Structure 1
């Protein structure tokens, strides 16, 4: 568990279920990502205001979500102009939609820690300068290097898809 504590919890359930505990979402994130079996979608905003969505592989470390992008990819170009984004994912027993802002990470310590996390999940990422390289990445990722981004979480919506059911909004 990360020790992250929401400052506001709102029960969104219409069927009488109590609010979900943040620890359930935290545990699902900690045990599920990164994994090739978990697909997550990053939502960003194009310069003209239209939405854009892209599948990304995410990692959960110390209460933050991380993902990578080629600097030339639409998502990276969108984030350069507007860091506001969403990340949606289905985990074991709970669906999450995360809202926040993404920032590029360039410090060697964080890059090294995330490379280790990704390597343990089967992606042989290596730190090269202030980005990652590897012999392969997702077919849509474009060529290396791949920049690392941290999603600073503001709000998370959770909907439990297994018992105990419920729907909750956590603000941080």
Structure 2
């Protein structure tokens, strides 16, 4: 991993990636009096190259973000055509943006693992019997009918902005 301290000119120390990962793994919510929430935002690329940004139920699991979507949704069509994407989320004392490539997951063990992780967070997902993705008793109406495709983001970079004193702004290249 290459670490680029974007706050060095202001005398800020580099952000500790391992501390950020511990917060992502622990689902560290933003501060109760903070102005943000734990919404995870996914950006994909439309056919004309413009960004498409939408809130998703992405989950940090096994060292990266995972998300699911119907094949006919705009984000589903976008990542099928161009898998480059970004995820942004606020966690306790930090804002995190990761960039990478969305890789479709169909391996049974991986689908079982992520479905269990989503179920542990309150969304009762389970692998679809067809092996195509996951299913659940409910999802956002815009996702279309199950099974929903599952994607794992292969991380290329992350930018983390700390909201604590002394703060920090660091880019990580993986």
TM (norm. structure 1) is 0.89
Task: Report the equivalent of 1:127.
Answer: 127
Q: For the Cα contact (< 8 Å) 1:73–1:142, is it kept in 2?
A: yes
Q: Which runs of 5+ in 1 are unaligned?
A: 1-6
- Superposed, 1:84-163 pairs within 5 Å as 84-128=84-128, 129=130, 130-163=132-165
Give unmatched runs, 5+ long, in structure 2: 30-36
Consecutive aligned runs of 4 or more in structure 1 exceeding 4 Å deviation: none
RMSD: 1.7
Residue in 1 that maps onto 2:3 = 9
Does the 8 Å CA contact 2:96/2:158 hold for their aligned counterparts? yes
Partner of 2:18: 23
Distance in 2 (CA, whole Å) between partners of 1:21 and 1:127 is: 35
Q: How far apart in 2 are the matches of 1:67 and 1:118? A: 10
1:28 and 1:94 in contact (8 A); partners too = no
Report the Cα distance in structure 1 between the residues aligned to 2:146 and 2:40, rounded to whole angstroms: 21
Structure-2 separation of matches of 1:27 and 1:33: 8
TM-score normalized by the length of structure 2: 0.88
- Aligned to 1:103, the other structure's residue is in SS state strand
1:80-125 deviations in Å (ceiling 9; x for gaps): 1101111111111110111110011000000000111011100000
C-alpha distance in 2 between matches for 1:83 and 1:103: 7
